Amino acid sequence: MGHARRRVVRRTVRLAAAGGLILGGVMVTRAAAGEPAAGTATVRSAPADSGAAVVQRLGAARTAGTWTGSDGRTVVAVTDTKAADTVRRAGLRAERVSHSTQDLTAATAALAAAPRVAGTAWSLDYPANEVVVLADGSVSAADWSRLGSVARAAGTFVRMERTAGSFTPLVDGAEPILSTAGRCSAGFNVTNGQADFVLTAGHCGPVGSLWFTEADGTRQLGRTVARTFPGKDFSLVRYANGRASTDTVATGKGGSVTITGTGEATVGQRVSRSGSTSGLRTGRVTAVGATVNYPEGTVTGLIQTSVCAEPGDSGGPLFAGGTALGVTSGGNGDCAKGGTTFFQPVGDALTALGVHLVVAAKGTSDGAATASPAASATATAGAAATGDRSTGLSLPRSGDDAAALASRLAHRRNIGPGLLVAGGSLVALVAARWIRDERDRRSYRRSYSTLWS
């Protein structure tokens, strides 16, 4: 029993020391490589989509877009056999189609050149290899007929559809950011290196709009300092105190998603949207490069989705995992009946505004709060089921919790403790090995003495 007990003790010591060595190494590595200098932000962009790369290499005359199939594989539409072979060699699935991207975009150019009809929208349906033209209930029979003539002249691959409701920017009706210009949802925190801002929808209000996070106007968020709408749909609200405190998107019930970079939406991709009216909702990207003719003007280059939205969700974030994709622009329908929602791609907005996402975890003094993965998953499911309104960008507030354990481990101040833990564990491993070897030597000498006395 004594020998067995000593073996258990030795094994426990070795395992504990090895665990400490690993933990110390993680603390040092994350603190040295993962934590930015004070006051800076690090952008970790999502990996380039391989389907988009193949499309770019083959060109618009030989391809007709890319999407994610129902099996999760990337599909690339091609117009010839050699292009299909190239796609397959890249490990992707090829699908032969009759009309190239050049054909489809020529049709959308013809639609754009026709007299503008408010309440209409069009986009490229890659899986169907068609251009889809939508018209809401506000479009008259005469306008519908004229638009149909343009569509027929553009090509047989242009499909006309009527849809319920009205295509409108989703401004009214909810917190968390409010002004005399309307009510919207915060999107993503961004920075230009000197000051921090909230990225939201451009239709939410003109430059100079003053925004608050409380309905009684007691807590000022900031003021709109840049705006583009129509044409595109994005704006910047500069924080009144000059800085953001978080890199997370709230998902309701205390959960959040940490934003780690930007990406481009792909057709078929599963996405989530967070908004202050209808909470967290999910759906799929149905088209990219969409054009919408709102009553206020035309907006181009939008992401079209099956995610529902309602007034007040405007400006809210569209994301997939930790990747920022867009901010809510407008649409039709609601979250009871469903509908189509359009989003301004976040990459285009960041480039035009000369800013980048705040994505790096800051020190605990900034008050950033991040839920654990388990808590976030629970909150996501709960918010999706209940339409929790406590969603959107996590805005600064007093009394926020300290950063999560992972963020604390990544802080620069943990380099010293990490080295200490690693060093101590290494010493413990060496000592345990030496003690074991010394005992083995003594045992051997006793045995040798007995045998050869």
Q: What is the DSSP string of 311-380?
A: TT-TT-EEEETTEEEEEEEEESSBTTTB--EEEEEHHHHHHHHT-EE--S---GGGT-----HHHHHHHH
Digit-coded pLDDT (tens) for 260-273: 999 999 999 999 99
Tell me the CA end-to-end span of the chain in Å, nearest whole number. 29
The answer on pLDDT for 180 being more than 90 is no
The answer on pLDDT for 107 being more than 90 is yes
Task: Say which residue, 426 or 196, is predicted with more confidence.
Answer: 196
**In 9-114, where do the E strands start and end?**
63-68, 74-78, 93-96
Q: Which of 256, 272, 278, 314 is catalytic?
A: 314
Quickly state the pLDDT bin for 247 (edges 50, 70, 90): confident
Quickly state the pLDDT bin for 243 (edges 50, 70, 90): confident
Residue 413: φ, ψ to 5°: -65, -10
Q: Which of 103, 125, 136, 233 is catalytic?
A: 233
The answer on pLDDT for 402 being more than 50 is no
What percentage of the chain reaches a pLDDT higher than 90? Answer: 50
Q: Cα torsion for 135, 140, 141, 143, to the nearest 10°?
A: -70
Task: Say which residue, 256 or 234, is predicted with more confidence.
Answer: 234
Yes or no: say if 156 and 372 are a contact pair by the CB < 8 Å rule: no
Least confident window among 163-177, 326-340, 402-416: 402-416
Quickly state the pLDDT bin for 425 (edges 50, 70, 90): low
Task: Say which residue, 428 or 115, is predicted with more confidence.
Answer: 115
Quickly state the pLDDT bin for 314 (edges 50, 70, 90): very high
- What's residue 121's pLDDT? 96
Tell me the pairing of strands 74-78 and 93-96.
parallel
- What's residue 432's pLDDT? 57
The answer on pLDDT for 113 being more than 80 is yes
Q: Which of 99, 203, 356, 411 is catalytic?
A: 203
Digit-coded pLDDT (tens) for 143-152: 999 999 999 9
Mean pLDDT of 392-398: 57
Task: Say which residue, 426 or 114, is predicted with more confidence.
Answer: 114
Task: Say which residue, 359 or 411, is predicted with more confidence.
Answer: 359
Task: Say which residue, 394 or 404, is predicted with more confidence.
Answer: 394
Mean pLDDT of 151-160: 95
Read off the pTM: 0.70
The answer on pLDDT for 43 being more than 70 is no
Catalytic site residue 203?
yes
Annotate 220-235 with b (16+ C-beta within 10 A) or e (fewer).
ebbbbebbbbbebbbb
Catalytic site residue 411?
no
Annotate 295-311 with b (16+ C-beta within 10 A) or e (fewer).
eeeebeebbbbebbbbb
Task: Say which residue, 10 or 233, is predicted with more confidence.
Answer: 233
Cα-only R_g, the chain: 28
Q: Which long-range contacts (CB under 8 A, 24 or more apart) does 295-299 make?
A: 295/118, 295/119, 295/138, 295/168, 296/169, 296/203, 296/229, 296/230, 297/229, 297/230, 297/231, 298/116, 298/230, 298/231, 299/229, 299/230, 299/231, 299/232, 299/233, 299/329, 299/330, 299/342, 299/344
Task: Say which residue, 104 or 174, is predicted with more confidence.
Answer: 104
- What's residue 219's pLDDT? 81
Digit-coded pLDDT (tens) for 17-30: 556 656 566 554 54
- What's residue 351's pLDDT? 96
Quickly state the pLDDT bin for 177 (edges 50, 70, 90): confident
pLDDT, mean over the chain: 77
Quickly state the pLDDT bin for 36 (edges 50, 70, 90): very low
User: Residue 317's beta-bridge partner residues?
Assistant: 327
Yes or no: say if 66 and 76 are a contact pair by the CB < 8 Å rule: yes
The answer on pLDDT for 381 being more than 90 is no
CB contact set of 304 (below 8 Å; sequence gap of 6+): 121, 123, 285, 286, 287, 288, 290, 340, 341, 342
